[in-house]
Chains A and B, each alone.
Chain A
Amino acid sequence: MGKATDKELIVNGRRLDGREPYHMREIKMSVDEISSANGSAKVSFGKTTAYASVHGPRSLFPKFLQESDTGILRCRYNMAPFSVDDRKSPGPDRRSVEISKVIRRAFEPVLFLEDYPKSTVDSFIEIVEADGSTRVTGINALSMALASAGIPMKDLVAACSVGKISDTLIVDLNGVEDNNSESDVGVAMMPQKDIVTLLQMDGILTKEELVMLLNLARESCKKIYQIQKQTLMEKYRGAE
């Protein structure tokens, strides 16, 4: 996926879209976007937009999937055919199956599924516009959707991507940067507990660089958490 570029990605300490290395793109969040779902959210990081919806806890069939002592979480990450420049062939592929799985694993330690034995929480992440960092955008959206669906959770989950381009460490990679980076790292964490729930790395980094990137990711996740919190609070605080 994606194209290589010959352009210099960082010029005079500025990235192609004019950001400084540690700056995130413009973040937009909203909840309750899908009325048929129990909870839903929409999150955009610049040109990347993800919708997440949560249905359930609801009864789980076929019956052999049921766990008598706990509920299960099912996750589907999907990119719309029109989300990228070249049409993506619709339906699940190897990449989206893997991402669905890591997203599920990122949320399983956060949810109190044991409160809902024999049932399932079905969650769907739909990427309608992709410009890098889609999985972390999806995670941010799903976290808010789960909270607004009233699913018991230890904490919200905030996620962001960090990486390295021409020996510069950067935060929140966009599409071009994603395709041409020396390394990129996706991080999801519980911001109030300081526990990492997803950590993926691609490319080559030194140990010191990875530690620095993780610290950067942590700071960014906390910033993202503040926006998530504000969005949920505003929606539900009440008073007109």
Chain B
Amino acid sequence: MKAREVVLPGDMLDERKGRKLGNGVYEEDGKVFSKLLGIPRISENELAVIPMYGTYLPKMGDRVVAVIESVEISGWFVDINSAYTAFLPVSEGVEEFVDMQRSDLTRFFDVGDIIYCRLSRVTKQKTVQASMRDFESRKLRNGIIIKVTPTRVPRIIGKEGSMISMIKASTKCDIIVGQNGVIWIRGDTKDKAIEAIITIEKESHTMGLTEKIEKMLGEVNGQGD
């Protein structure tokens, strides 16, 4: 198995040469250095480092699995597994008209409820607004959530969703992966799905992972029949 290249903070990637600076890099005297421990991505028009570790930093447009933290007069504060809390206003959370003078918002979402939402606005000071005004966003009933390192999320989803749809198909679970590293799972065989996801998280840097997971889940199915 071929090892992937890893850079440490302070390692020089390349001269800038007018290229765009992506995530995880900084420039000094026309040279570009890594800010993070990660895998370098150097292309003709961009220099970036994909981090291997780190907490979730909210980005506009991210779809996240969130937990209602508190209920306010005009909306909800939701925990998005980050240093920052997102606010979900009533107008972004509920389709129907709500008379805020009279109704109690716990009717829609109460503390501890799990939702799938989109981060509609993230300011420079990291004030985060969440929104549920699209057809994918919804309240997630039953099921459980697990947390993984957010930097491993792309690996769990796989190329064009190949990995996650394989897990979904063979375990027959409902799974929603948030960009923030929170994963919601519902189904009778959720233990197997969790096992698979944790294996991916642990071994995300290795090659040939899809085959390994396929084999692992195949054995599960074989025993089940």
Residues of A within 8 A of B (CB): 38-39, 56-60, 68-69, 71, 112, 115-120, 147-156, 190-193, 229, 232-233, 236-240
> Would you list 30 pairs from A and B whose C-beta atoms are within 8 A, ordered by A residue?
A39-B53, A59-B83, A68-B125, A69-B125, A112-B35, A116-B57, A116-B126, A117-B125, A118-B83, A118-B84, A119-B84, A119-B126, A147-B37, A148-B53, A149-B53, A150-B38, A150-B53, A150-B54, A150-B55, A150-B151, A151-B54, A153-B36, A154-B10, A154-B26, A155-B33, A232-B6, A232-B8, A233-B8, A236-B205, A240-B206
- CB-defined contacts of B8 to chain A, threshold 8 Å: 147, 156, 229, 232-233
Contact of B55 among A56, A147, A236, A237 (CB under 8 A): A56
Nearest chain-A residue to B55 (Cβ)?
A57
Chain A residues whose C-beta falls within 8 Å of the C-beta of B125 in the assembled complex: 68-69, 117-118
Residues from chain B with a CB closer than 8 A to the CB of A152 are: 9, 24, 35-36
Taking CB atoms, residues of chain A closer than 8 Å to B51 are: 150
Count A-B contacts at CB 8 Å.
105
B35 adjacent to A154 (CB under 8 Å): yes
Q: Give the distance in Å from the alpha carbon of A38 to the alpha carbon of B56 in the complex.
A: 11
Give chain B's interface residue range (CB within 8 Å of chain A).
Answer: 20 to 34
Q: Which residue of A lies closest to B49 (CB)?
A: A152
Once the chains bind, are B57 and A232 in contact (CB under 8 Å)? no
> Using a CB–CB distance below 8 Å, which chain B residues touch chain A?
1-4, 6, 8-11, 24, 26, 33, 35-38, 51-55, 57, 83-85, 124-126, 151, 205-207
Chain A, residue nearest B25 (CB): A152
Q: Is the CB of A59 within 8 A of B85?
A: yes
> In the complex, which of the residues B6, B10, B53 has the most CB atoms of chain A within 10 Å of its own CB atom?
B10
6 closest Cβ contacts across the A-B interface? A150-B54, A155-B10, A150-B53, A119-B83, A152-B35, A153-B9
Chain A residues with Cβ under 8 A from B2's Cβ? 239
Asked whether, in the complex, the Cβ of B126 is within 8 Å of the Cβ of A149, the reply is no
CA distance A129 to B2 in the complex (A): 39
Cβ-defined contact, B205 with A238, below 8 A: yes
Tell me which residues across on chain B come within 8 A of A58, comparing CB atoms: 55, 83
Known A-B contacts A115-B57, A150-B36; A238 and B206 likewise in contact (beta carbons under 8 Å) = yes
**Which A residues lie within 8 Å of B206 (CB)?**
238-240
Contact of A112 with B205 in the complex, beta carbons under 8 Å: no
Q: Does B11 lie within 8 Å of A192, measured CB to CB?
A: yes
Contact between chains at B37 and A237 (CB < 8 Å): no
In the bound complex, residues from chain B placing their C-beta under 8 Å from that of A57 are 55, 83
Docked complex Cα distance between A150 and B151 (Å): 10
Given contacts A59-B83, A116-B83, A118-B125, contact A38 B3 (CB under 8 A): no
Does B10 contact A193, Cβ atoms closer than 8 Å? yes
Please, which residues of chain B bring their CB within 8 A of the CB of A236?
Answer: 6, 37, 52, 205
* Cβ-closest chain A residue relative to B127: A118
Q: Which residue of B lies closest to A69 (CB)?
A: B125
Among B3, B6, B35, point to the contact of A153 (Cβ < 8 A): B35
Residues of A within 8 A of B35 (CB): 112, 152-154
